[in-house]
Chain A
Amino acid sequence: MKSKIKQIIKFEFLRTAKTKGFIIGVILVPLLFLGSIAVTAFFAAMSNDHSEEEITIGVLTNEQQSTVFREVVGMIRIMDWKIVESADSALLRQMTFDKQINGYIKYDSVAGYSFYSDNYTDLYVSNTINGIVHNVNRHNEISHSGLSEEQVEKILNPPSVNTYKLSEEHPETAETSDVHEESFKRQMCGMAFAFLMLMSVMMFAQNIGQSVLEDKSTKIVDVLLTSVTPTQLLTGKIMGIGGAGLVQFLVWVLMAVFATNNADVAAIGSLSEFLTPQLFVLSSLYFVFGILTVMAVYAAIGSMAETQQHYNQLVSGISIFTSLPFIIITPVTLNPGSTFSVVMSMLPVFSSSLMPVRIIAGDVPVWQLLLSIVILVGTGFMIIKLAARIFRNGIMQQGKDFKFKDIFKLMKK
């Protein structure tokens, strides 16, 4: 009988992997994913790069101009921006509308500094002017306070905090690193890793649901069940299609490692230092149990459906559970050590994707790893057993209009 399961595994694996859709998915999807990040980063960088832009600022001159205001205008000139001075506000206003100047500034003793522009979204100019005004005024106030140059320098350039990451391997010395940059890298890596895992799981869960639906709607299931039991069929399908999912996931990860080793992703640099063998082993374990559990659920749902529409209606009943991990990834990535993150990474629905995020983010206590694995495996077996029962009862019933609530009826022996 075991050889029959092997036959089903082999057949379902090849049936899934030998399709154009699979090959395109394995190669194109990560390229599209990375490409979209690169394109977005490129255009964002372009829109923030004003080095080539010629900026002209109008200055409304009046009798109330202070020395400080003149200093502000002087600082603007230092930035290689052009200045157009005029006492006529109507003229400067019209020049702004005509795009001859980017906007104009004025100063009066009541309203203080004002900058006028017709552009709401490009904050570069207004933010720069704001920064200049702030710095010039602060420097001016401190300079006239009677403090020494040294004291003024300390106020204007306060000391910063050097951040260190402790390591249990070196208790007497501390690792020194640029924690902020590393933290950002780890977050990006973790998020990307979790998305790849989730996408793989969901793609192949849908795959098995559709496969079971096809078996039932084409009546081939009757032929198959003369040779194998429903449990053997379910096992073979899950392992065959799940195997293809694991291959896809590993190819994606290897592509990501290759890409990050050979090209610095903008503002991220190499990520491969976080993709350790330990991470691969643990992630594979989480991935395998996660995908097996989700696939069993989708197979059970497929066994209840008669048509594609029927299947879609039934799947919508569990869509909240399948979409929640995508939402939770971000808060867990940003704060992997919080109670929320620890608890969510223990729950079987979420641990497959969230625990690797936490592993990448930093040291996860061994007891948490072990506990999450035990919960995942134990719950996974229970869900698979119940899903198998639903599959056994559902696959052999034809012409039934099962509703989502009928799942509980089908769970009975």
Chain B
Amino acid sequence: MLQLNHITKNYGSFRAVDDLSFTAEEGKIIGIIGPNGAGKSTTIRLIMNILQPDGGEILINGKPYSDEDSDQIGYLPEERGLYKKQKVSEMLHYLGALKGMTKDDCEHQIDHWLNRFGLTEWKDKKVEALSKGMSQKIQFISSVMHSPKILFLDEPFSGLDPVSSDQLLAVIREMKEQGRIILFSTHVMETAEIICDHIIMLNHGHKILDGTIHDIKREFGSDTLTLDITGNHSFLQGIPAIVDVRERGNSLNIVFQKGTDINALIVEIVNKAFQNGCAISSLKVDEPSLHSIFVSIAGDKNESEPQK
């Protein structure tokens, strides 16, 4: 278990992280989300022991961080952290050795993971010869090959095509099943919604959300409908309760005001669709998306919080 208790971090007079506390349990994927400048990177670096907190404590299984714990942590940074002129195998051997792996273990794990991601033929190529997606996979391998108990993934799907993203997701879910603590940071709310069991949302160094996806959505109530409709749907803009209409592929995401009588709204939409000669094939009340929750909270907080 990973615990952050009242963590504070200052850069001069600027407080980057303010009294942050949360717990990450084994077998869970914890999403750490927030707008730019929220304190995510600082929090990550505090957990990774790259930075030292100015206040509070970080505990791993109830004990303060020690040097031995570094071998139990895997970190996938947002940007590629590889030496371009090194061969893939040399780079992975080096990073594995720094995590306390033996040469044979490294070799075995490198072969296993390269094979898993279809990169075996790139083993002796230089890192600079890899595409962005391949580099990301190599970086991922370096973060998991030593079987860490705590894994931090910062934008892991960046640069990956859908097939590779699915491969990576499958590995992440396997690790979750194996009881590892997985911390996940992303700007893409849809991804966080799919992957994470628990969300920590930061803004201006404070924690403003902490709960499971389900609990958070329930707390914020429903505010969207998904509508499949053919014909001119511009009439929707004229319905007062509707705040926003977004096209998502062939469907429409309709955001309505909080507190709206959903049944009355549905009736109004159906009637007006009929009056305008439109045909509705599907209508579903959605739970609020993490994106909309994020925007509503981060937007409100940005307006109300004074600049530091």
A interface residues, Cβ below 8 angstroms from B: 1, 3-4, 7-8, 11, 15, 214, 218-229, 396
Task: Specify which chain B residues have a CB less than 8 angstroms from the CB of A7 in the assembled complex.
Answer: 94, 97-98
A226–B48 contact, CB under 8 A? yes
Interface residues on B, range: 20 to 34
Chain B contacts of A229 at CB under 8 A? 67
Would A226 and B82 count as touching, CB distance under 8 A? no
Other than the known A3-B100, A11-B94, A223-B77, what 6 A-B pairs have Cβ atoms closer than 8 Å? A218-B80, A219-B79, A222-B45, A224-B98, A226-B74, A229-B67
Smallest CB gap from A400: residue in B: B11
Quick one: CB contact mask for B66-90 with A, threshold 8 Å, 1 for yes?
Answer: 0100110111011111111110000
- Min C-beta distance of A40 to chain B, whole Å: 37
Most chain B beta-carbon contacts within 10 A, residue among A3, A7, A15 = A7
B145 to chain A, nearest CB (A): 13
Q: Please report whether the interface of chain A is mostly helix, strand, loop or mixed according to DSSP.
A: helix
Candidates A1, A214, A221, A226; contact of B73 at CB < 8 Å: A226
Q: CB < 8 Å: which of B71, B74, B83, B99 contacts A218?
A: B83
Give Cα A219 to B80, complex, Å: 7
Contacting pair B94 A228 (CB below 8 A): no
Report the tally of A-B residue pairs with Cβ distances under 8 A: 64
- Closest residue of chain B to A224 (Cβ to Cβ) is B98
Q: How far is the CA of A331 from the CA of B183 in the complex (A)?
A: 63
Q: Provided the pairs A222-B75, A223-B75 are in contact, do residues A214 and B70 lie with their beta carbons within 8 angstroms?
A: no
**B98 contacts A227, C-beta separation under 8 Å:** yes
A220 CA to B142 CA in the complex, in Å?
12
Q: Which of B71, B78, B79 has the most CB of A within 10 A?
A: B79
Q: List 12 A-B contacts (CB under 8 A).
A: A1-B67, A4-B97, A218-B80, A218-B83, A219-B79, A223-B81, A223-B95, A225-B48, A226-B70, A227-B95, A227-B99, A229-B67
Could you tell me the distance between the alpha carbons of A273 and B86 in the complex, rounded to whole angstroms? 43
CB contacts (< 8 Å) of A8 on chain B: these are: 98
Contacts of A224 in B (CB 8 A): 81, 98
Let me know if B83 and A227 touch, CB within 8 A.
no
Chain A residues with CB under 8 A of B70: 226-228
How far does the alpha carbon of A8 sit from the alpha carbon of B74 in the complex, in Å?
18
Closest to A221 in B: B81
Q: Is B266's CB within 8 Å of the partner chain A?
A: no
- C-alpha spacing A15/B74, complex, angstroms: 24
Say how far A382's CB is from chain B's closest CB, in angstroms: 24
B147: chain A residues at CB < 8 Å are none
Task: Take A1-B67, A4-B98, A7-B94 as given contacts and tell me if A226 and B80 are in contact as well, using a CB distance cutoff of 8 Å.
Answer: no
In the assembled complex, B51 has its CB within 8 A of some CB on chain A: yes
Closest-by-CB residue of B relative to A223 is: B81
In this complex, what residue of A is CB-closest to B73? A226
List which B276-292 residues lie within 8 A (CB) of chain A.
none
Report the bound CA distance from A4 to B100 in whole Å. 8
B94 CB → nearest A CB, Å? 5
- A214, A219, A222, A229: residue with the most chain B Cβ atoms closer than 10 Å: A222
* Contact between chains at B98 and A222 (CB < 8 Å): no
Tell me, rounded to whole Å, the shortest Cβ–Cβ distance linking A16 to chain B.
Answer: 11
Contact residues in A for B83 (Cβ distance below 8 Å) = 15, 214, 218, 220
Known contacts A222-B50, A222-B75; is-contact A228 B81 (Cβ 8 Å) = no
**Does B98 contact A228, Cβ atoms closer than 8 Å?**
yes
Q: How far does the Cβ of A36 sit from chain B's closest Cβ, in whole Å?
A: 31
Q: How far is the CB of B82 from chain A (nearest CB, A)?
A: 6
Closest to B11 in A: A397
